[in-house]
Amino acid sequence: MSGKKVIVGMSGGVDSSVCAIILKNQGYVVEGLFMRNWDSLVNNDILGNPNDLNDICPQEKDYNDALEVCKKLDIPLHRVDFVKEYWDDVFTYFLDELKKGRTPNPDIMCNKYIKFSRFKDEAIRLGADYIATGHYARIKNGRLLRGVDSSKDQTYFLSQLSNQQLSNVLFPIGDMTKDEVRKIAEDYDLITAHKKDSTGICFIGERNFNQFLSNYLPSKDGDIVNIETNEVIGRHHGLMYYTIGQRRGIGSSGNVDKLFVVGKNLDKNILYVAMGEDNEYLYSTSCIITDVNFISDLRPTFCTAKFRYRQKDISVNIEYLENDLVRVNYPEGVKSVTPGQACVLYLGEECIGGGIIDKIYKGTEKLWYL
């Protein structure tokens, strides 16, 4: 690969650091590119710590770590600002979905609109033949395959990408386990070798979610109702803070450990709960997905699906409807299928695509409380 240039998305974490090592050892001309997608300075006053940049600018720490890694590996590091694009294409979507009472996945949209779109365009401008990221996934013969480390596989988050977006993309650590990745970083004595994996909202970092969200969406208290008895058992602090299947933080009186969120009524501002982790109100048997994206040319009738990241594969059958809608059937029942989340489809090791969960059914009846 002598002379072929790869631009690596350097996040300041161990995975992208090891990507750069692997590619450089393979003979590529490697350069790094760090994306700034959130303007912490603008939000200093909103977040309540205008003078404490160490707390409110985690991405600056990540940039410094990426810079140190690139210096150690003797590769240049570029920096690009996608703050407006992230706000317009990802964060606005995130807020709009929450307003509808749904549970969105901003990481999926960040991949679709930022990492494999804006980032790729910038990499091409810098002369890249390929881009590379630290995702635990594989591409073989144009097929998107799960990462070898099943506990880290990230194809779920790549399910909205097109074939074009995945062209000229390298996933250098897709054939590795996390332990193997950290071992390489240790061997090179990188600052990121033992850095904790990032969590929280994509690019915004780890914050108190409720406090953060309240700065952008007005919250309104309302009743918590036991759906089985129609009894008001407490007050919620805003429907946007709750998701289907949630147990902790419901805030009702009584035996809260056995209560689970099963639905929402936006018009009446009611949060519905039920007792028991296997309560019938948590289960559905089919859903309609929208924004359906197929990476593969395959259109199977039977395959497996994930309705949440890290969920075990569920055997499903597929119906292709008008207006590019898809019905995903799982007759044996699945718990906590949630509007706004992604339903991702698989044939064995291959991720063939997915869509966004919209309507949810039990038998032939649409669930009114979802």
Q: Note if 351 is an active site residue.
A: no
Q: How many CB atoms lie within 10 A of CB 219?
A: 14
Q: Note if 303 is an active site residue.
A: no
Residue whose pair of structure tokens reads 């995945």 in the numeric block:
166
From the list 57, 70, 110, 287, the catalytic residue is 110
Outline where DSSP puts E strands in the chain: 5-9, 29-36, 77-81, 130-132, 137-140, 143-146, 169-170, 222-226, 231-236, 259-265, 270-275, 283-294, 302-306, 314-320, 326-335, 342-347, 350-362, 365-366
326 vs 291: CA distance, rounded Å: 9
285 vs 315: CA distance, rounded Å: 12
Residue-wise over 259-293: b if at least 16 C-beta within 10 A, else e?
Answer: bbbbbbbeeeebbbbbeeeebebbbbbbbbbeebb
From the list 202, 287, 303, 343, the catalytic residue is 202
* Residue 190 CA: distances (Å) to CA of 26, 56, 60, 76, 179: 19, 24, 18, 16, 15
Question: At a CB cut-off of 8 Å and minimum separation 6, what does 295 contact?
Answer: 143, 144, 159, 161, 162, 163, 166, 351, 352, 353
294 vs 308: CA distance, rounded Å: 18
Outline where DSSP puts E strands in 109-181: 130-132, 137-140, 143-146, 169-170
Using DSSP's 3-state secondary structure scheme, residue 233 falls into: strand
Q: Which residues are tagged catalytic?
A: 110, 202
